[in-house]
Copies of this chain bind each other. A is one copy, B any other.
């Protein structure tokens, strides 16, 4: 009884919903979440939107711009202060918390982090992140020039930390025992690399989270302490 195909008005083809840049970015984000950035190709996204790859170029200039748009969409999920959920506080703890959340977000998508590093993002949520970090540094009494340069440094650290996470997620062992650099450092002959011998144990110690929070402490300490040169 029920017909195989429901007849559609207007020329017998189902009306495609009108496409917008927002839709395209939202679908792109969904594909990335589900299968990773590697699988999110222009052709794949076009197929997902039921069109040809050429149509995407009406909404984005190129792949890099698409990555930037995806990042900004992703940043909406940060625990922005003042949102009422109290996930991040004020001062040093607020700064560290927000940057850890940013790193954590990108940590899930290392290739996006790599792309972002070359991108210099400029979406509204990225600006908001810069603004919030500036506010936290300012509240901590950091002079304006050190805060301005410091924000760049802090975001670079966070992005690069996520970007370093290569495609070594698929390894069965949780630790990075199988990384070439780990092996090379462990086996480096003391005669040729005496300092590596000196620091051998400490070179591999700590979890990623411990190293990140130490690095953030190092940066905030230094940003507050070292004056910028006179350039104005």
User: Roughly how many angstroms separate A194 CA and B133 CA in the complex, as a whole number?
Assistant: 12
Q: Is A39 an interface residue (CB 8 A)?
A: no
Question: A229 — which chain B residues lie within 8 A by C-beta?
Answer: 206, 210, 214
Encode contact with B along A140-181: 1 for CB under 8 Å, 0 otherwise: 000011011111110011011101101100000000000111
**Residue pair B138, A198 in contact (C-beta under 8 Å):** yes
Residue of B nearest to A184 (CB): B122
A217 touches B222 (CB 8 A): yes
Q: Which of A17-25, A52-60, A123-131 contacts B (4 or more CB under 8 A)?
A: A123-131
User: Which residues of B lie under 8 Å from residue A188 when comparing CB positions?
Assistant: 127, 131
CB distance from A164 to the nearest CB of B (A): 6
Main secondary structure of the interface of A (DSSP, over half): helix
A198 touches B120 (CB 8 A): no
- The CA of A113 and the CA of B152, in the complex, are separated in Å by 18
Residues of A within 8 A of B (CB): 110, 114, 117-122, 126-128, 130-132, 134-135, 138, 144-145, 147-153, 156-157, 159-161, 163-164, 166-167, 179-181, 183-185, 188, 192-196, 198-199, 201-203, 205-207, 210-211, 214-215, 217-223, 225-226, 228-229, 231-232
